[in-house]
Chains A and B, each alone.
Chain A
Amino acid sequence: MEERFVIPRRFRNTSLIFIAIGVISFLAGLFGLHGDIGEKRFWSVLVFNSLFFLYMSAAAIFVYSAASLAQASWHIAYKRVIEAIMVNVPVFAVIAFVVMMSVFIGNKYFIYPWLDPHVLEHDPIVAGKTPFLNVRLFVIFTVIILTVWSLLALKLRQISLQEDRAERGARRFLWKTIFFAAIFIAFYAASISVSSWHWLMSIAARWKSTMYGWYIFAGSFISIMTVIALFVIAIKNSGQLQLVNKEHLHDLGKFIFAFSIFWTYIWFAQYFLFWYGNIPLESMYFKPQLWGHYRFWFLLDLVINFAVPFLLLMTRDAKRNYTTVTVIALIVFFGHWLDFYLMVVPTVLPTQGVVLGWYEIGITLGFVGLMIWVVSRALSRAPLYPLNHPYLKEAIIHKSDWG
């Protein structure tokens, strides 16, 4: 039980190779991608990748907080994996902040057109949004949101580690976790909407969507469920975390299945009204995706985020099979990465540009490598099971169903 996580060689090698690929791609992009298209590609890929990984890690805090508030026990056996992903939040917060501030400082108007004085002068729709879309409010909100997310992630993990060192059966940490989890949930509910309007929706400055915060939340929630499942399976494959079994996998499979349907519901609710209204101002956002350059990826996005998990994860046996869950989690993770890609790049580069070239893949691998590295380091710093948690036994004998 008193098990320490030993970073498997494969984790270390993969993460270092991926980080190297990411750094090389970044440098190659910095010096190699020139001209209008090259520059737009360089910045838009950086923006959507850093935000995708930031939102995903923040969703890990949400999963942890929601489960703590519900006093759930299903996640306790692999709680440390969720905590380790939470530790990514400060890292990705810094990266995302640096990227967005570079966009401001470098006057990259193609990412955030509302920065452009020329646009503000000639476009009354964008100019009318200046009370919300201005640099001062953007920076203040961004700093507050990133700080609170990072501090609460570290605080929740700190409480959990203190519990390990405390005397056996201490209950005060349970209530402390619930207290901070409640604060996070309330803050997250507001901040996920406001941050998505500022960071992502304002890239299409003339356009707006009332479903956007939900849409971001649904996407990041499934992504984090697939990532938790992939980490748990990978750690189990390395011979550790053996107390986690098919019952726990079944829960993760259910979450991926159910929230894929939820994401599709949100996606369709957003798309449907624009399709029905067919107002040029609103449908402009979907035109390059549905009828233009990105049509294949747009349709693929729907297939792999809805049809694949819906049909392939439907049966009980599929959710309890390690191979099926691994393959579908990889597909769905790629699907939601593609979804974030489609939120940013078609707006910046509507008619041309390389989809999934060396640069996009390289930068993404860099982020994946960084995540694996941070997670393995965080896992190796603490016992692999929360030894003093009152629900640990309940979590180990957990049964996903009684059938």
Chain B
Amino acid sequence: MAIKQFVVGSFSDEEQLLPAVKKVRAQGYKLYDVFTPFPVHGLDAAMGLRQTALHTAGFIYGALGTATALLGMSWIFVVSWPLDIGGKPHFPLPAFVPITFELTVLFSAVGTTLTFCWLNQIMPGVKKHIFHPRQSDDRFVMAIELTPKTNAEEVKQFLLNNGAEEVTVQTAEEGWWYGLYSKREAYDDINPQWSVQ
């Protein structure tokens, strides 16, 4: 993943954060992400997030589960090893319904959860850059990505004017990775205030 520069502002209240997020987008800065301790109503719309396709993925996983269960059971009981169970037909559809239901739910639940983790880049043991040590505790943290067109000082001043209490410029690797903290230490010297002692 690429190493980029970010201007990170931390807010103490969502009532200051929400208008600031709207202003950042209106100003044309590149909003990287916002971290809040709890879901803030209206933040999705303010950040301009699109409707996710997670539901479609969930439906496809569910349909896959239905197909797996029905095809698997009918192959086993009709083609591979027909058994006479209580005089029932070899293709007893009602008897297949509970298992089909279970596999549909299982496939769609597991698949949707993994897709959700992948979309949000979260997974046990995964390393990510932390912009502010209190970003999921009591601080509302907004990270703005610096592009060749934006000036760090200008963005810093802009955030301070809009209610940020702390503004830092950080060089960080975006995305997620498995591995040791050594990768992080590579830029700890650039951001000494967050380095792990």
Interface residues of chain A, those whose CB is within 8 Å of chain B, are: 268, 271-272, 275-276, 278, 314-316, 402-403
Contacts and interface: CB of A to CB of B under 8 A. Distances in A.
A328 to B, nearest CB: 18
Contact of A272 (B41, B55, B97): B97
B41 A402 contact: yes
Interface of chain A: mostly helix, strand, loop or mixed? helix
Interface of B: 39, 41-42, 44-45, 51, 55, 59, 86-87, 94-95, 97-98
A402 B44 contact: yes
A403 B45 CA distance: 7
B44 A276 contact: no
B94 A316 contact: no
A315 B55 CA distance: 8
B59 A314 contact: yes
A316 B41 CA distance: 19
A135 to B, nearest CB: 38
Contacts of A316: 51, 55
B56 to A, nearest CB: 9
B103 to A, nearest CB: 16
User: What are the 5 A-B residue pairs with the smallest beta carbon separation, nearest first?
Assistant: A275-B94, A402-B41, A272-B94, A403-B51, A268-B97
Contacts of A314: 59
A281 B44 CA distance: 58
B44 A403 contact: yes
A96 B63 CA distance: 44
Contacts of B42: 402
10 contacts: A268-B97, A272-B94, A272-B97, A275-B94, A314-B59, A316-B51, A402-B39, A402-B42, A402-B44, A403-B51
Contacts of B95: 276
Contacts of A275: 94
A268 B98 CA distance: 10
Given A276-B94, A278-B86, A403-B44, 13 more contacts: A268-B94, A271-B94, A275-B94, A276-B95, A278-B87, A314-B59, A315-B55, A316-B51, A402-B39, A402-B41, A402-B42, A402-B45, A403-B51
A314 B59 CA distance: 9
Contacts of A268: 94, 97
A243 to B, nearest CB: 21
Contacts of A402: 39, 41-42, 44-45
Contacts of A272: 94, 97-98
Contacts of B41: 402
A314 B58 CA distance: 11
B105 to A, nearest CB: 11
A268 B101 CA distance: 12
A314 B108 CA distance: 14
Contacts of B55: 315-316
Contacts of B51: 316, 403
B162 to A, nearest CB: 23
Nearest to A317: B51
A316 B55 CA distance: 9
A272 B94 CA distance: 6
Contacts of B94: 268, 271-272, 275-276
B114 to A, nearest CB: 21
A272 B97 CA distance: 9
A272 B93 CA distance: 10
B51 to A, nearest CB: 6
Nearest to A271: B94
A365 B15 CA distance: 55
A136 B87 CA distance: 44
Contacts of A403: 44, 51
A278 B94 CA distance: 13
Nearest to A275: B94
Contacts of B97: 268, 272
Contacts of B44: 402-403
Contacts of B59: 314
Nearest to B87: A278
A315 B59 CA distance: 10
Contacts of B87: 278
B97 to A, nearest CB: 6
A286 B165 CA distance: 71
A79 to B, nearest CB: 24
